[in-house]
Structure 1
Amino acid sequence: MVLLKDDEKMVIQNKKWWHEAIGYQIYPKSFQDTNNDGIGDIPGMIEHLDDLSDLGINVIWISPINLSPMVDHGYDISDYLQIDPSFGTNEEFERLIQEAEKRGIKVLMDLVINHTSSQHEWFKRAMADLDSKYADYYVIREGRGEEPPNNWRSMFGGSAWEKIPGTNKYYLHLFTVDQPDLNWENPELRQELYEIIEFWLTKGLAGFRVDAISHIKKIYDEENLPSDGPDGLVTVWENYRDALGIGEFLGELRDRVFSKQDILTIAEMDVVDPEKWEEYFGDNGYFSSIFDFYHTAYSIQGKEFANDSEKFIEFLKPLVYKKQELANDRVFFTNFIENHDLPRSLNRFIPKEEIGFHSASVLGMFYFFMRGIPVIYQGQEIGMVDYPKETIDGYIDLATHNNYQDYLLNGLSETEALAQINIENRENSRTPMQWNSQTNAGFTKGTPWFAVNPTYHGLNYQQQKEDPHSLLSFYKEMIQLRKNPIYKELLVYGRAVPGFVEASGVVTYQRKLEKQTISALCNLTNQTIAVDYDAKFEVLLNNYAELDCKTGQLTLLPYQGVILEETSSVNGK
């Protein structure tokens, strides 16, 4: 993006439709079931399009709905060209795209092309004939004596290599054993993937969230490396995450497919080096945007923070401030605080006893007006929370159970291991959407595929829809402000000025464009905090009824957040 001065007015070049995107992630298994089989489906998404339109979002990202045996909840695809029957049909998905478009909403699919399911026809043919072309669609290596090719660890635990029966060969699976990695070194395989992408784009799709794309390049070790755990295995990120040479594949993907369409592509990858940001995302990057993962490894419930709000926020502030400042006039991150792979944000950011309207609303305000594309995860807008289990049997995700066993292997007791799982597991975000106070939260009339959080009796969408002072109503206000024609240009293209005033436990940032300035001040603690603010202003958004202000100072109540339009500086600046 380039800013040019024209008669004292800044003209913004290279505008794209997705710069104004306000996203909403749907986890389809848990969104809305219409045929009473206990699994959410595409007709259920269509049923709630008016609710999403009323919320104000304009892009939905749907987690995988392709044909799958569901070992990893759809991230193990057995047929890229078919919708899984549990979700509906190809025709129903096309109808969803059309109905969403009528409401000004664009649809993104999850694109899973680092690996397939072991039930994919390609893999079946590869296993049937290791001399066939399909065997080269996957990463297959000779074992070392009676051992795997090396001691790489799978991200789901255990060896990343699975022996092929009757041979001394192994296939690589960085995820579950049922998710064999594709061999991106094979140009014929890459062409097949490009044709799959084009197939869905012809249906009217607006783009993709691109799953696990940072792992498509592998650099192989022929020897075992020193183990980093009691299992004798080792995690070697530099060999299979953003590995040297990945740009060749990503550049081809962009040039052969993505750049030919006016689409939005958001990569699941963390580009650590700011010098490489424009290479990876932006106007000439491999993708439109990438997610900002600065916060995802941390929880206020972690031992290092021990539910200390101020300590937690002060730790996170420099992480987000640095990236916001460096992104100015360069790239658009995709900003989020929840997704399907994380516990609920309220439990990660807020002490349990302090979760309520004010803490939930200020947490939303904290990230929503930063520079970049904001995304809401289903249920976040009503304040859904974690559902810890009394036994490990309450969870069903393979990753959860593998992590539990790893904790036991590392010396934790069953009680300690379960306590850690309850804090960190991703299934907390996958409980069914809480639509109303009826049976199963209105998600299904059947038996839900995963237990509904019992909080739905007092915390649900219908209840909040009818309450103008609810968290849902506050999210609508935030979205309306971001879309307001008076402020939209500023909030989309304005520079981010993070930490413009300092106050411990308070996140502050400004958005600036020409003579417009908007300030966000978010107190993320349970303390009343006075903040220096040397400007005249109008309040655009406030999660309390009042704001205590006097010359040069604002007093923020516990978990109070405000968005202010600066009208002039007190000292005339």
Structure 2
Amino acid sequence: MEKKWWHKTVGYQIYPKSFQDTNGDGIGDLKGVIRHLDKIEKLGANVIWLCPVFASPMVDNGYDISDYMDIDPSFGTMEDMKELIAEAKKRGIRILMDLVVNHSSDRHAWFQAALKDPFGKYGKYYVFREGKDGKEPNNWRSIFGGSAWEKVPGYDNLYYLHIFTKEQPDLNWENPKLREEIYEMILKWMDLGLGGFRLDAISHLKKNYQYTNLPPDGPDEYNMAFEYFNNVDGLADILCEMKERTFAPTDALTIGEYDHMGPEDVEDVIGENGSFSSVFDFCHTLDNVRNPKWGNTVALFDDYRDQLFAAQKIVDGRGMLCNFLENHDKPRSIDRFLMPEDQNLYSEKMLPVTNFFLPGIVFLYQGQEIGMRDDPKQSIQGFVDKPTFAIYDRLIAEGKTDAEALEQINRESREHSRTPMQWDASAEAGFTTGTPWFPVNKNYTELNYEAEEKDPDSLLWFYRKMVAVRRREDLEETFLYGTLIPEYETVSGVLAYRRKDEKNNILILTTSLADGITLPFTDTIEEVLLNNYDTCEAGEETIRLQPYQCLVLKVKE
């Protein structure tokens, strides 16, 4: 594998709206990110991924972009963005922006022009089709619920496609003029000093425009039709062109939100000449210990282990996955992976070690390093995300009671990850001097960054140690390029693996067992690199893992 600068990525994802408000309007901003760059540097991160800060009506929290070359006033100005890039660079940190090019906002100048003339130049930037038999062109369902087609105002039988909300019309990637506009925009941002992009919904760019109706898969008579707009044949050609025109010449780090990568896809997607630098390993994103499918920590932990190793086997050293536990679209990892009775400082330190040293790059999410938690609501009105209400309506239509629908949303909602960052125990957790756009989790008086900074045994300090081990000069290449060897694969409650090359032999051991476990062990320990306990109980033939223990051990060859 040819070595690249981005192979050393330890990333930190920021949801700017909830990170730090500096002007009292209750919304986080770019100056707030700048304020905390020293903390991110101290954590050991060298890449920041910013969720969208482009101009937007905020129907989908910035994933509906109305101007790709401007910053939304709620976040600041282009000068603020340039300052952020420059200040991050001083600290050895590169900035990734969140590029959303499957669709634009319906307020974008292109779409406004398209509505005036759906058959003209800008009409061809989007997907307009005539309806059939007095209905939509077909019965595709939007990912957020309802029809994926919206009637065009002023026309009796003309619709536009939106696989997300109706305010997010899909761009027509079959149009070379549209593609040229996007490429020009990407290059302008790279010229400003960006490190690259996270590519949102990128597997949806290519559609299969067969307009036959599909058998309904729900009471709304629609069909999700995912196979018609996800990883469709021909997508690789589009992605390859985008890379060759923009990302390759600028040496950009690109991370794709790309689903269902099979063994046959790896070379085209993340291989030496693949479309992206990396893609997120989504293998575990449906895992939730509160789902009746699991119901206990160990059962989930065993499935999670098998999923991680299966994903790595698919890649098989031909590229680098992006490993993560949290992002802006999932509940908090402690509540997702650990039952309440299993939640303690030992298990909370153990959890991130499970995938942090696997082959690939890694990303942490804001607040993960201090153990921020879900914030269940007492009623559906406690949520603010439009898709949340769409999911609630769907669950009610499927026959669930209000209590049942609310329970599922509280278990699965992405809004848990979007509560404001908990900086200290002052009013509104130090996030804002005003009224926050979304309520701060009430646990902030005990769980906050300032309190953990003062406690060397805190989760925050442990995350710093974990990152430091991965980035240690004499170990880093082993973690980047060394062989992955799963260990103790059939032992329930244990997730373990070895990273090995000609320089180092490193064993990672974690357990989700409340009583711990004794394992056969014949290695000779040279150095305990990381431990969430004060002791390592290793003998000549066995090693004792204490309850929820994690160990990273450098052992002799």
Aligned equivalents of 2:104 and 2:537: distance in 1? 56
Question: Is 1:457 paired with 2:445?
Answer: yes
Note if contact 2:55-2:62 (Cα within 8 Å) is conserved in structure 1.
yes
Match of 2:328? Answer: 340
Give the Å deviation of 1:502.
4.0
Determine if contact 2:496/2:509 at 8 Å carries over to the other structure: yes
Cα distance change of structure 1 residues 320 and 501 upon mapping to structure 2, 3 Å threshold: closer
Q: Matches of 1:248 and 1:18 in 2, distance apart?
A: 24
Question: Which of 292, 299, 303 is 2:292 aligned to?
Answer: 303
Q: CA deviation at 1:283?
A: 2.2
> Structure 1 counterpart of 2:428, which letter?
N
**Aligned residue in 1 for 2:354:** 366
Is 2:145 aligned against 1:193? no
The yes-or-no answer on 1:42 pairing with 2:1 is no
Cα offset for 1:314?
Answer: 1.5
TM-superposed CA distance for 1:325, in Å, is 3.5
Gaps of 5+ in 1: 2-13, 569-573
Aligned to 2:133, which of 145, 148, 159? 145
1:257 aligns with 2:246: yes
CA distance in 1, matches of 2:173, 2:485: 41
In structure 1, the residue matched to 2:427 is 439
TM-score (ref. length: structure 2): 0.98
- The reply to whether residue 561 of structure 1 matches residue 547 of structure 2 is no
| 1:24 matches 2:15 | no
3-state SS in 1 of match to 2:168: coil
1:161-202 per-position Cα deviation (integer Å, ceiling 9, x unaligned) = 001122111000000010000000000000000011011101
Which of residues 157, 172, 196 is equivalent to 1:207?
196
Alignment partner, residue 94 of structure 1: 82
Q: 1:222 corresponds to which residue?
A: 211
* Partner Cα distance (1:141, 1:459) in 2: 52
1:490-529 map, 5 Å: 490-500=478-488, 502-529=490-517
Which residue identity is paired with 2:193?
G
Deviation digits for residues 402-435 of structure 1 (CA, Å, limit 9, x no counterpart): 1111110111000010000000010000000000
Deviations 1:23-72 (A, max 9, x none): 00000000000000000000000000001011110000000000000000
Rounded Cα–Cα distance in structure 1 between residues aligned with 2:259 and 2:348: 26
Amino acid at match of 1:496: L
8 Å contact from structure 2 (residues 488, 494) kept in 1:
no
Number of residue-to-residue matches in the alignment: 555
CA contact (8 A) 1:324 1:498 kept: no
Q: 1:412 to 1:501 in 2, by over 3 A?
A: closer
State the alpha-carbon separation in 2 of the partners of residues 102 and 452 from structure 1.
32
- 1:85 is matched with which residue? 73
Amino acid at match of 2:495: V
Matched, 1:117 2:110: no
Offset of residue 526 of structure 1? 1.7
The answer to whether 1:246 aligns with 2:235 is yes
Task: Please tell me whether the aligned partners of residues 501 and 533 of structure 1 are also in contact (alpha carbons under 8 angstroms).
Answer: no
Q: Structure 1: which amino acid aligns with 2:538?
A: C
Q: Is the Cα contact below 8 Å between 1:371 and 1:496 reproduced in 2?
A: yes
Aligned to 1:177: 166
Q: Provide the TM-score with structure 1 as the length reference.
A: 0.96
Q: For 1:240 and 1:131, locate their aligned partners in 2 and report how far apart those are by CA, in whole Å.
A: 23
Deviating 4+ runs (over 4 angstroms) = none
Match of 2:269 among 262, 280, 300: 280
Contact residue 270 and residue 318 of structure 2 kept, 8 A: no
1:166 aligns with 2:159: no
* Distance in 2 (alpha carbons) for counterparts of 1:502 and 1:101: 45
- Deviation for aligned residue 1:222: 2.1
Written as runs of structure 1 = structure 2, the 5 A alignment for 1:49-64 is 49-64=37-52
Which of 431, 452, 463 in structure 2 is aligned with 1:475?
Answer: 463
SS in 2 for 1:162: strand
For the residues of structure 2 that align with 1:452 and 1:354, how far apart are their CA atoms? Answer: 25
Q: 2:531 & 2:118 partners in 1: Cα distance?
A: 64
* 1:458 partner amino acid: E
CA–CA separation in structure 2 for the residues paired with 1:77 and 1:501: 45
- Encode CA deviations 1:273-311: one digit per residue, 9 max, x unaligned: 1121011113210010000000001211101111x1111
Preserved contact between residue 262 and residue 314 of structure 2 (Cα < 8 Å) = no
Aligned to 1:497, the other structure's residue is in SS state strand
Give the superposed CA RMSD.
Answer: 1.0
Aligned to 1:415: 403
Q: Secondary structure of the equivalent of 1:209?
A: strand
Residues in 2 aligned to 1:50 and 1:211: alpha-carbon distance in whole angstroms: 28
Displacement of 1:322 in angstroms is 2.0
5+ residue gaps, structure 2, are: none
Partners of 1:552 and 1:362 lie apart in 2 by 24
| Equivalent in the alignment of 1:107 | 95
Separation (CA, whole Å) in 2 of partners of 1:61 and 1:69: 21
Supply the distance in 1 between the matched residues of 2:511 and 2:535 (Cα, whole angstroms): 15
2-side partners of 1:22 and 1:90: how far apart?
A: 26
